[in-house]
Amino acid sequence: MFRRLLALLFLTVLAAGCGSPPQTGSVIFFHPDGTSSANWAIARAALVGPDGQLNWDKLPAMAVYTGHMADSVTATSNGGATTHAYGFKVASDAYGTWGSPGHPLIVDRNGKSMSIAHQAMAADLPVGLVQTGTSTEPGTGCFVTSVSSRKEHEPIAAQLIESGCAIMLGGGEKYYLPKGVKGRHGTGVREDGRNLIDQARKAGYTVVFTAEELAAVPVTTDKLLGLFADYHTFNDQPEEVLAEKNLPLYDPDAPTVAQMSDKALQILSRKGKRFLLIVEEEGTDNFGNNGNARGMIEALRRADEAFGVMRTYIAKHPDTLLISAADSDGGGMRMRGIHVPDGQPIPDRLPATDRTGAPIDGIDGTGTAPFMSAPDKAGQRHPFLIIWPGYDDVSGGILVRAEGLNSDKVHGMMDNTEIPKLMHRTLFGHDAPKAAPRPK
């Protein structure tokens, strides 16, 4: 009897020690580039009122993001994206590599890529890339390509086609066609004579060029390439330049980031396998860098619409992690309210600069009327202006937001290196392998 009790106790302790295996699931990483909490405050005021709630506001998990590079306190787009893809501090000029000097690859001790996307594909999990800029943008490109400079668009495009990604949606058609060959949106620029669109079709990809064509793609499609613009799907220039050229903020024939994300989720989830989806709204960075406040607010609206699509998916598939962060604040866009005394009219023109010389934007650019917020809970609309510190990306005010599986791990402070580590634990149930030392 004593032996039986002892055996039972041993088995109980053993079972308790083993525990249940960690839960795994799919991952959506959304990078609304260039956005800080200050940008989302502007979007909130403009779109739903200063005390309203955006989809971004409804994400339950939050952490303060720290995002310095190995050689700078402010991230570059390519260095930040490489860190999000690999989980290591890299040099500012890195693009899927350690960066200067020599741009060595980031591999494990067996020589295999440490990129979360490459590891997913090695495990036969489908990967999707969604981009509103040119598909060679680092926010998505760094996950599957490695070059010595972000300006190497042609090699990046070739590596994208050869990467094995199930879905690739974005702009940049010109980098997929030989020089002088006419495409749907413009003319090719490749010097090597390769027609990557033909190569993609031969490799089994369905190729689409417009929002209408994307909408018609059946969810049974296994491999999808979308090229929706010659370069970006938006026109990232100041308001005055767009008005002079009669150009829209976004190409009306191109799909939005929400439409691309929705189609990608339908296709990736169809077979019931875990997947990795990397999404970037690039307009939120580029309009900020070009001092276009109206364009920035429209880009934020589109990004928030995509958050709505993703949150709807998470509600139906709670075994999926949605995690989101920017790597820096594009242009440092800030909002300043305008106090108008009772009985006084709202000014119809704003000054070009404030007392420090910082540029000021109104609703149509320099020297125009102020923006008006959406109504607050009291039904009041409030005038405000946008002020810019400069062209470049700046640091600070970035938040990590998350929902779904393992989102409880997002709290306090979260370094940029921790984001791919959480994605890896969610996809595979364990930590990523150790990296080989960086070559000297």
**Span 119-150, pLDDT tens digits:** 999 999 999 999 999 999 999 999 999 999 99
Evaluate if residue 75 carries a pLDDT over 60.
Answer: yes
Evaluate if residue 225 carries a pLDDT over 80.
Answer: yes
Evaluate if residue 8 carries a pLDDT over 50.
Answer: no
Q: Which residues have C-beta within 8 Å of that of residue 347, sequence separation ≥ 6?
A: 338, 340, 369, 370, 383
**Span 189-201, pLDDT tens digits:** 999 999 999 999 9
Once rounded to an integer, what is the mean pLDDT over residues 89-110?
97
Once rounded to an integer, what is the mean pLDDT over residues 374-398?
93
Once rounded to an integer, what is the mean pLDDT over residues 231-246?
97
Once rounded to an integer, what is the mean pLDDT over residues 411-426?
98
Mean pLDDT (the chain, rounded): 94
- pLDDT (0 to 100) of residue 22: 85
Once rounded to an integer, what is the mean pLDDT over residues 105-114?
96
Helices then strands, counting H and E runs in the chain, come out as 14, 16
Structure tokens at 167: 């879905």
- pLDDT (0 to 100) of residue 3: 54
Once rounded to an integer, what is the mean pLDDT over residues 35-39?
97
- pLDDT (0 to 100) of residue 391: 81
Rounded to the nearest 10 degrees, how much is the dihedral formed by the CA atoms of 386, 309, 165, 300? 0
Distance CA 190, CA 188 (A): 6
Strand partners, 399: 64
Evaluate if residue 380 carries a pLDDT over 90.
Answer: yes
Q: Are 296 and 288 in contact (CB under 8 A)?
A: yes
Strand, coil or helix: what is 362?
strand
Beta strands (DSSP E) in 48-145 are 61-66, 127-134
Beta strands (DSSP E) in 219-266 are 224-227
Above pLDDT 70, what percent of the chain?
A: 95
pLDDT band, residue 14 (cuts 50/70/90):
very low
- pLDDT (0 to 100) of residue 343: 82
Angle, CA 395 vertex, CA 295 and CA 48 arms, to 5°: 40
- pLDDT (0 to 100) of residue 21: 77
Considering only residues 409 and 341, tell me which one the structure prediction assigns the higher pLDDT. 409
Above pLDDT 90, what percent of the chain?
A: 91
Once rounded to an integer, what is the mean pLDDT over residues 353-357?
93
Beta strands (DSSP E) in 282-350 are 320-324, 329-330, 334-337
Q: Are 424 and 359 in contact (CB under 8 A)?
A: no
Distance CA 368, CA 385 (A): 10
- pLDDT (0 to 100) of residue 16: 44
- pLDDT (0 to 100) of residue 19: 62
Angle, CA 187 vertex, CA 184 and CA 190 arms, to 5°: 120
The region of weakest confidence among 32-46, 368-382, 384-398 is 384-398
